[in-house]
Amino acid sequence: MNGILAHELTKTFRNRWLSVALAIGCILAIVAAAEAITTVDALYRSMSADGEHYGLDATTFLGLSTASSYGNWMAVNANAPLSSTVFFYLAPLLTAIPFSWSYQQERDSYLAHVLLRRTRTQAYGAKAAASFLVGGTVVALPLVLNFIIVSCFLPAYMPQYNECNYTGMFYDSYFSWFFYNAPLMFVALFTLLDFCLAGCWAVLCLAISTLFRNNRVATLIVPYLGLLAWVYLVPNIVFANVQGFSTDLIHCMMATHFSDPPEPLAAAALLVALPAASFVLFLCERRRDVL
Amino acid sequence: MNRHTTTKWTAWRTLLIDLRLGFSASARWYVLTALFALCSIELAVAGSDFFGIEKASLTWADHLALFVGGCEPYVFRQGLIFVPPAGWLLGLLLPAYMTLGYPYRDLMGFGQHALIRTSRASWWLSKCAWIVLTVIAFWAIVVAAATVITVLDGVPFSLRLTQGAFATVSGLANVPPGGIGSLPFFAGVLGMSVALCLAQMTLAFIVRPSVAFGCMAALLVVSAHTMHPALLGNYLMLARLGDAVPGGVSPLVGLGVAAVLAPASVVGGLFFFRRTDLVAKELFA
């Protein structure tokens, strides 16, 4: 197992499509940081011109949460609504780009040889593990990069709960206790959560690719369209009469919300449901003749 | 010598083959389009109740326009995140996906044989024509879905867009009592939709299909965020129609932009395609 996993990981992390996906994610992270920093700068200027100031110099409203690096981190997104939204809406597509097509490409060639020497469980497990790690990396690295850039320009003020309306981080948001008490821990935990969610989504895309034959475009895009349908239809039809939380992957990856808060239980359910669905698809694939 | 080698391989024949193979490859997506259009329009009509709009006051044109309802432009306020209209996004990404896959699959299979016997220009122009016809077929299905809902709801078959449709998607709209004509808007939506799909195919040959699709999705999300004539997604949204929404975009300008973008994509793509090494390159990602 170790040998095949090491080989899959080497293939995955040396894949040029990983560079492409990471480059797109990092560009969006840099643009989101620039958007947040310029917005905060404009706020400083306008409030200074009014004689009120901003941050620790403020005479009335402190605005520590929205002026801080924590409040302007991409996942919290107090001042950069466009770039970070584009990032989170493209993230499911970006996680699929580096490796989700590999099973389909190798099914009739390389994988057939591997299955002479290894069990199917080992072969599929190695692919799924590599896909999980690469999918998580594509989302987590831009998040970390964004936090580093934002921290270089904005002060690390401790977020204040009485400003929750300005950050969108309410008591029922994910890890909100950490955000207001140990914000660096919040950043670490949320990055880990997004890593796991993106990784599980990448594994599901890999599993869905077993349904297609010689159609890499469909392998990458059909799961994404399915996810958009989920974002649109599930709140309108399935949960039309249930107010209160969003269940889709995209909004579960964002810390703040507009009307329906991301529900921690929904994220936990996703972390179980996505691997379970992948497992079922691989189980069905196991029964098929590999030749 | 068999029949195929003696038949002259014309551009017309290439197009006929594309129509047959392309439409059969997309058949299941047309069914999904019909279901999605019915669902989307019905949900929008149901949503109009929330704003106190009578179902009976909506027209056939309103039903059709609600498929591309969209949303108001985002106004920045700290703590208020931007949520793109997922239904609108999905409705426009469906034709984008339907026109993305077949040309590549053809190029990696049957198309390589066809290119031995026909010119690259014929192959490319045939794919462009197929894309135009596919997008028209997509919108024809949406029109049919709107017609079904109009018949079921028993509302008039009018081409006027009323305040009811606008009020469902935007609080900024101000429509005169008699409504406004819908034909320029629908012509703009069709033209821009075709132009964007052609541009996407050209981009797909340069940066690969998945990245081109990502660019298309990003363009639509940015368009939903900002009302600006340079963001082409605005021409595909009822909530940004300049005839009723202050600061909105003109559908005639959209038609003009589409009339430039579509031929530019066809010619630009052909220029690139003629110089691409089709054998040595992996084009299928």
Nearest 5 degrees, angle CA B216-CA B220-CA B223? Answer: 135
Among A47-51, A57-61, A243-247, A277-281, the minimum mean pLDDT is found in A243-247
Chains A and B form CB pairs within 8 A to the count of: 108
User: What is the distance between the alpha carbons of residues B41 and B68, in angstroms, rounded to a whole number?
Assistant: 9
Average pLDDT across chain B, whole number: 86
The per-residue pLDDT for A48 is 76
- Quick one: which of A95, A65, A230, A239 has its CA closest to A157? A65
* A160 pLDDT tier (thresholds 50, 70, 90): confident
- How far away is chain B from the Cα of A240, in angstroms, using its nearest Cα? 11
Q: Per-residue pLDDT averaged across A196-222, rounded?
A: 89
User: What is the distance between the alpha carbons of residues A154 and A66, in angstroms, rounded to a whole number?
Assistant: 10
- How far away is chain A from the Cα of B112, in angstroms, using its nearest Cα? 16
Q: What is the DSSP string of B151-212?
A: HHHT-----EEPHHHHHHH-TT----TT-EE-HHHHHHHHHHHHHHHHHHHHHHHHH-HHHH
Give the three-state DSSP class for A262: strand
Q: Per-residue pLDDT averaged across B188-206, rounded?
A: 93
The per-residue pLDDT for B281 is 54
- Quick one: which of A62, A29, A37, A25 has its CA closest to A151? A37
Q: Per-residue pLDDT averaged across B126-144, rounded?
A: 94
The per-residue pLDDT for A100 is 84
Burial class of residue B169 (count of CB atoms within 10 Å of its CB; 0-12, 13-18, 19+): buried
Number of domains in chain A: 1
Report chain B residues whose CB lies below 8 A from the CB of A258: 80-81, 83
Report chain A residues whose CB lies below 8 A from the CB of B86: 228, 231-232
Higher per-residue confidence, B75 vs A90? A90
In a domain, A205, yes or no: yes
CB contact under 8 A, B79 and A94: no
In a domain, A155, yes or no: yes
Side-chain-side CA neighbours of residue A246 (13 Å): 22
Q: Give the tokens for residue A264.
A: 């921690």
In a domain, B123, yes or no: yes
Q: What is the DSSP string of B234-279?
A: GGG-GGGBTTTSTT-B-HHHHHHHHHHHHHHHHHHHHHHHHT--TT
Please check the confidence at residue B200 and state whether its pLDDT lies above 90: yes
- Give the structural domain span for B246: 25-274
CB contact under 8 A, A167 and B78: yes
In a domain, B5, yes or no: no
Closest CB to B79 among A166, A221, A232:
A166
The per-residue pLDDT for B283 is 46
Please check the confidence at residue A246 and state whether its pLDDT lies above 80: no
A→B interface, C-beta within 8 Å: 17, 20, 24, 39, 66, 77-79, 81-82, 85-86, 89-90, 93-94, 96-97, 101, 164-168, 214-218, 220-222, 225, 228-229, 231-233, 236-237, 254, 256-258
- pLDDT above 70 covers a percentage of chain A that reads 89
In a domain, B145, yes or no: yes
Q: Give the tokens for residue B3.
A: 């029949």
User: What is the distance between the alpha carbons of residues B37 and B156, in angstroms, rounded to a whole number?
Assistant: 19
Distance from chain centroid for Cα A236:
23
Is residue A132 within 8 A of residue A200, CB to CB? The reply is yes
User: What is the distance between the alpha carbons of residues B50 and A63, in angstroms, rounded to a whole number?
Assistant: 35
Please check the confidence at residue A259 and state whether its pLDDT lies above 70: no
What value does the CA radius of gyration of chain A take, rounded to a whole number of Å? 21
- Quick one: which of B13, B68, B18, B111 has its CA closest to B223? B68
pLDDT digits (tens, 9 = 90+) for B53-110: 888 888 999 999 999 988 888 888 877 788 899 999 999 999 999 998 888 878 877 7
- Give the structural domain span for A262: 2-286
CB contact under 8 A, B79 and A66: yes
The per-residue pLDDT for B179 is 82
Higher per-residue confidence, B261 vs A62? B261
The per-residue pLDDT for B52 is 78
In a domain, B18, yes or no: no
Give the three-state DSSP class for A126: helix
Please state the length of chain B: 285
Q: Give the tokens for residue B115.
A: 């290119």
- Quick one: which of A203, A209, A224, A196 has its CA closest to A92? A224
Q: Give the tokens for residue B146.
A: 């709107």
Please check the confidence at residue B282 and state whether its pLDDT lies above 60: no
The per-residue pLDDT for B63 is 92
CB contact under 8 A, B90 and A228: yes
pLDDT digits (tens, 9 = 90+) for B157-192: 888 888 888 888 887 778 888 788 889 999 999 999
CB contact under 8 A, B222 and A86: yes
Number of domains in chain B: 1
Residue A63 phi, psi (nearest 5):
65, 30
pLDDT digits (tens, 9 = 90+) for A115-134: 878 888 888 889 999 999 99
Best-predicted range by mean pLDDT among A55-59, A136-140, B155-159, B237-241? A136-140
Best of A18, A39, A228, A250 to disrupt the B interface by mutation (most B CBs within 10 Å)? Answer: A228
Please check the confidence at residue A242 and state whether its pLDDT lies above 60: no
Pairing between β-strand B160-161 and β-strand B180-181 as defined by DSSP bridges: antiparallel
- How far away is chain A from the Cα of B225, in angstroms, using its nearest Cα? 7
Q: Per-residue pLDDT averaged across A59-72, rounded?
A: 79
ipTM reported for the complex, 2 dp:
0.89
Is residue B113 within 8 A of residue B107, CB to CB? The reply is no
User: What is the distance between the alpha carbons of residues B170 and B53, in angstroms, rounded to a whole number?
Assistant: 13
CB contact under 8 A, A24 and B214: yes
Closest CB to A232 among B86, B284, B285:
B86
In a domain, B159, yes or no: yes
In a domain, A291, yes or no: no
Distance from chain centroid for Cα A234:
20
- How far away is chain A from the Cα of B178, in angstroms, using its nearest Cα? 32
* B111 pLDDT tier (thresholds 50, 70, 90): confident
The per-residue pLDDT for B284 is 44
Handedness of CA B152, B158, B159, B160 (dihedral sign): negative
User: What is the distance between the alpha carbons of residues B269 and B266, in angstroms, rounded to a whole number?
Assistant: 5
User: What is the distance between the alpha carbons of residues B179 and B171, in angstroms, rounded to a whole number?
Assistant: 16
Please check the confidence at residue B6 and state whether its pLDDT lies above 70: no
In a domain, B88, yes or no: yes
- Quick one: which of B279, B273, B276 has its CA closest to B128? B273
Average pLDDT across chain A, whole number: 85
In a domain, B6, yes or no: no
Residue B12 phi, psi (nearest 5):
-65, -40
Report chain B residues whose CB lies below 8 A from the CB of A231: 86
Report chain B residues whose CB lies below 8 A from the CB of A216: 284-285
User: What is the distance between the alpha carbons of residues B36 and B60, in angstroms, rounded to a whole number?
Assistant: 18
Q: Per-residue pLDDT averaged across A130-144, rounded?
A: 95
User: What is the distance between the alpha carbons of residues A112 and A89, in angstroms, rounded to a whole number?
Assistant: 36
Is residue B194 within 8 A of residue B98, CB to CB? The reply is no
Give the three-state DSSP class for B270: helix
In a domain, B86, yes or no: yes
Is residue A86 within 8 A of residue A266, CB to CB? The reply is no
User: What is the distance between the alpha carbons of residues B71 and B234, in angstroms, rounded to a whole number?
Assistant: 10
The per-residue pLDDT for A257 is 67
